[in-house]
Structure 1
Amino acid sequence: MATDSRCLTVAARAPTLCSAAAVTPEGVLFLGLPRFPGMESSMSVAQVLSDGTLRPFPGKGWNDWKPGDDGTHAFVMVNAIHIFRDGTLWVVDQGAPPGQTPQPGAQKLVQIDPRTGAIRNILRFPPRIMPPGAQFNDLRIHGNFLFVTDSGLGGVIIYDFMTGGMLRRLSGQAVMRNDATHVHRGLGGRILRDDTGRRPQVQSDMLEVDAAGKWFWFSVPAGPLKRIAVNALLDTRRSDASLARDVRVVKDIPTIGGTCIDTHDNIYLSDAEHGRITVLAPDGHEEILVTDPRLISPDALFIDRNRTLYVPCSQIERLAMFNEGHDATEAPFLVLKMHLPPQLGRIPLGGAVEG
């Protein structure tokens, strides 16, 4: 049985589209605010203060980018944020507004100290790793390795913190790309398209690595959910074509906006077609966690150290580019939260996987 929707409370209200939330070990909430058309003046990363107001973070000009500006040391199009075991904030910047090409150095991964705002690291990748058309989407860290999906061409980029080594895996392989069968949909199964009928072209997007570092799960928004062994991805003797043969379909799923994974290897899915969050257990059993009319384009999910689940309600499906030319988004854009119960039906629920 699904959890009562009254368990979902408002964690934050944003004036522009919010697609990501992350919480520090101390309980400080940060938001990712992508600059979709009409939202070019939005801040990109915000800290939620105790009174609910948003403060551009980390300051120092990082949220001041405007069209035409140099984006090498400013946020341009933030697609994801995340906080891992060490408590630092990682920001995924695609480096250009939708449909545009990033200037050299603008597409980047930025690590920030959430207490001081100090920039700890900026990762940029050469063309052999991020060729023209490649686009960062989301990231996870496990041990010494950082994994980030490429939703432009399809693929996964792996960075070794110990050696500085970089790998591009499954590049452009069919298993990483949207197929002709699965269609990107919104509430009620509505097919997303712009005013010319063009549908979203998003390749490998969501990703998760389990607590043991054994499996790498991934999906395009329209599904299906797939997985491959992490050790296979790290084996430099393997070709991309060989790796593609190792990819297995885990489950056909509705269109999703985001995922997360817990310490029991349950995968949480933001079901955009039904306005709900579901939980997929390792044995394939699935339960509905919560359904709520406020879950409009539920996006990237985040579990904090107190086992609180955060759900940004991005309303992406209401953007003109996905709604036949009509922008039906309405502020405020909500981030909802709920404490996870110990059990959902016959699925025991775990805690945060921190990498």
Structure 2
Amino acid sequence: MNHSNVMSLLVACLVAALPCAAVAQSAATPSITPVAQWNRLEFDLDKTAQTAYDKNQTYKKVLLQGTKVDADGNIYATTARWGGPEVPATLSKLVKKDGKWVLQPYPSVAMNRVGDPKALQAVLGIEIDRNGVMWILDQGHVGGKPSQPGSQKLVLWDIKQNKELQSFTFDDSLADSKCSFLNDVVVDNDRDVAYITDSGIFCDPLKGGLIVYDRKTNTARRVLSDTVFTTDQTGFRFRIDNRDVTPDKPMRTGADGIALSGDKKTLYWTNLSSHALYSLDTALLRDPKTSEAALRTAVKNVATLPSNADGMVADRDGNLYLTALELNGILRWDHVTGKFSTVVIHPDMSWPDTIGFGPNGHLYVSSGHLNRFVDTSMDFDHPTSPNFTIWDIGTNSRSYLAK
């Protein structure tokens, strides 16, 4: 770790009121490679659509969010339509066109059609399980407006067979059409269960919560809704690149990053506007007889994070990898020692968003300068560094999804 990285880490410790010994330097620095970079996101469009995209400067409304990699090494990206219905697609596969990476609407243009609740409207979180099934979490909200009936959903798509296997629609009891912000999803293939975070950002107070989905019965239940465990930390503010994030009004976001331990016994999550890492026994979450009161009592405050986190993932051994927004990097939490160490800190990894394993044991991370996007200071023409990047980090671990 170089001097500037050490200083950044020490500053983060002080900001978080943590003893700096709680964060250790990694034994070895892994390789870090930008797989794809853009100043503005480009899609695989026909000539008419491309002309409109350029003329209307639609690219200024498009933000890179999630990224995941399948068993064949194909990379997928999400661009939730926060900027409005003009965004050409909300889920895409990276393909090369004229020697450059572009986003090809996935599974098809039709499946990305705006206004059709059966199509994908605003996808943020996805997961690709060990059977090659993509679990697609559709927020439903386009341009921040209330979701249309049927648009908030979980779609299971078989990548190899290129077909939908099943889907589940979240009604208002599970995800409020106005307040919800379905954020991320993790999958337990052993039990056909998925766990979902809802950040609940569109209402005040926030309506954050967790959702447990059972694929076998195609049912779901919401837990820990509107609790201290799924909402923001009072007065929380944070800085990225020496600038306050949304300085005029603090960003408030509830349950966000989520990870499932390798043995599938423990669920971890964080609230974006907080430094707390929480966990719960999944046996309690899966049992519909477990009362809400019992769940609240069972929640563990596992650790205080050196930086607030957006995405996170567990390896097969139960360790966590977390994106560190205040550090521009990735942290590792050892589930045995409870200590944090740095995986990588990079000045261009501004707002690392989602994180997941590729088939090679490497971590893939998307970063997209969300802080600049939301305060409208993003330069799409001549930025000092690329606005959007998908990174390959040369770790040597197995995903929590591995057998």
Normalization by structure 2: what TM-score?
0.77
Number of the residue aligned with 1:345: none
CA contact (8 A) 2:213 2:221 kept: yes
| SS of equivalent residue, structure 1 residue 201 | coil
| Residue equivalent to 2:211 | 157
Which amino acid counterpart does residue 112 of structure 2 have in structure 1?
Answer: N
CA distance 1:223–1:144, shift in 2 (3 Å)? same
Deviation at 1:328, TM superposition (A): 4.5
Partner Cα distance (1:284, 1:18) in 2:
32
Structure 1: runs of 5 or more not aligned:
342-349
Tell me, in whole angstroms, the C-alpha distance in 2 between the residues paired with 1:20 and 1:42: 16
Q: In the superposition, relative to structure 1, how do residues 304 and 76 fare at CA in structure 2: closer, same or farther (>3 Å)? A: same
* Structure with the largest fraction of helix: 2
1:138 is displaced (CA, Å) by: 0.6
1:58 is aligned to 2:112: no
Could you report, residue by residue, the CA deviation over 1:254-279 in whole angstroms, capped at 9, with x for unpaired residues? 12221111011111111111111110
Which has more radius of gyration?
A: 2
> Within 2, Cα distance between the matches of 1:119 and 1:60?
15
Would you say 1:82 and 2:131 are equivalent positions? no
Aligned to 2:280: 228
**Distance in 2 of aligned mates of 1:39 and 1:186:** 29
SS at match of 2:368: coil
Q: 1:103 to 1:220 in 2, by over 3 A?
A: same
Contact 1:227 1:250 (C-alpha < 8 Å) held by counterparts:
yes
SS in 2 for 1:53: strand
Residues 65, 368 of structure 2: 8 Å contact kept: yes
Which amino acid is the alignment partner of residue 336 of structure 1? W
Instruction: Give the partner amino acid of 1:231.
Output: A
Mapped contact 1:185–1:255 kept (Cα < 8 A): no
Q: How does 1:305-316 map to 2 (within 5 A)?
A: 305-316=359-370
On the 8 A contact 1:313/1:335 being kept in 2, the answer is: yes
Distance 1:185 1:79, change over 3 A: farther
Q: What is the TM-score of this pair, normalised by structure 1?
A: 0.87
Could you tell me which of 299, 308, 323 is aligned with 2:353? Answer: 299
Superposed counterparts of 1:209-220, under 5 Å: 209-220=260-271
Aligned to 2:315: 262
> More deviation in 211-220 or 74-83?
74-83
**How far does the alpha carbon of each residue in 1:128-179 deviate from its partner, in whole angstroms, 9 at most, with x for none?**
2223423311111112211111111111111112222322111212211112
The residue that corresponds to 1:17 in the other structure is: 63
Amino acid paired to 1:337: D
Alignment partner of 1:353 is 2:370 = no
Matched-pair contact (CA < 8 Å) for 1:186–1:255: no
User: 1:30: which partner in 2?
Assistant: 76
CA distance in 2, matches of 1:312, 1:257: 11
Aligned residue pairs total 336
User: Which amino acid in the other structure matches residue 55 of structure 1?
Assistant: Q
Is the 2:263–2:318 Cα contact (8 Å) retained in structure 1? no
Q: What are the superposed Cα offsets for residues 220-270 of structure 1, whole Å, 9 maximum, x if unpaired? A: 113311111111222333332331121111111112221111011111111
Conserved? CA contact 1:59–1:117, under 8 Å: no
Residues 224, 295 of structure 2: 8 Å contact kept: yes
Quick one: which amino acid aligns to residue 371 of structure 2?
Answer: E
Distance in 2 separating the partners of 1:24 and 1:184: 33
1:12 & 1:279 partners in 2: Cα distance? 24
The corresponding residue for 2:20 is none
Q: Which residue of 1 aligns with 2:169?
A: 124
Change (3 A) 1:217 1:98: farther
Question: 1:30: how far off?
Answer: 1.0
Change (3 A) 1:187 1:273: farther
CA RMSD of aligned residues (A): 2.2
Percent identity (aligned): 23
Q: How many angstroms apart in 1 are the aligned matches of 2:79 and 2:209? A: 24
Distance change (3 Å), C-alpha of 1:264 and 1:89: same
Structure 2 unaligned spans of 5+: 1-24, 42-61, 201-206
Which residue of 32, 53, 60 corresponds with 1:8? Answer: 32
Shift of 1:60: 4.4
| CA pair 37-162 structure 1, distance change in 2 beyond 3 A | closer
CA contact (8 A) 2:212 2:221 kept: yes
Contact kept, 8 Å, 1:301 with 1:310, in 2: the verdict is: yes
Q: Would the alpha carbon gap of residues 306 and 71 (structure 1) be closer, same or farther in structure 2, given more than 3 Å must change?
A: same
TM alignment of 1:179-218, pairs within 5 A: 179-188=233-242, 190-193=243-246, 197-218=248-269
* Corresponding position of 1:347: none
The CA deviation at 1:201 is 2.4
